[in-house]
Amino acid sequence: ERSKALASHSMLYNGLSDGSDIGLSAAAFSTPLGTDRGVLGVSWQQLSLSGVYSEKTVGLAWGYRFPERSPYRKFSVGAALKYLNHGFSRLDEAYNAVENDILQNGNADPLLTGSNSSS
């Protein structure tokens, strides 16, 4: 076996009426660890909306196929870890909340003005 890599970037829903851009980028790499040690892989992915919202994901994975001489040769095992971070920018609308889906009340929206990043 040999190492493998991939990279991708896509612009989703081009031509939205509000002019926003939704982008999805990804990269991954995997490599064998040597005889009977399995394969290690890392990945990165980002989804973003015109600088307003973003999600970033980083992953680490390991997989192992039991050798042909093993009584477990029909099985494989693996483990994975994933880290997700998402956040948004505070826009002007966050400081002029809407009540009852109609009226702006001039107050800050507690949801949109609170912490703007989470992991």
Count of the separate structural domains present in the chain: 2
48 forms beta bridges with 23, 54
84 and 37, same domain (yes or no): yes
Mean pLDDT of 17-39: 91
Share of the chain above pLDDT 70, in %: 83
Neighbour-count burial of 54, counting CB atoms closer than 10 A to its CB (0-12 exposed, 13-18 middle, 19+ buried): middle
Whole domain around residue 46: which residue ranges?
4-88
Q: Return the ∠ at Cα 8 (arms to 5 and 12), rounded to 5°.
A: 160
* Residue-wise pLDDT tens digits, 40-69: 999 999 999 987 889 999 999 999 999 989
10 and 29, same domain (yes or no): yes
Q: What is the value of pTM for the model shown?
A: 0.73
Q: Is the model's pLDDT at 3 over the cut of 70?
A: yes
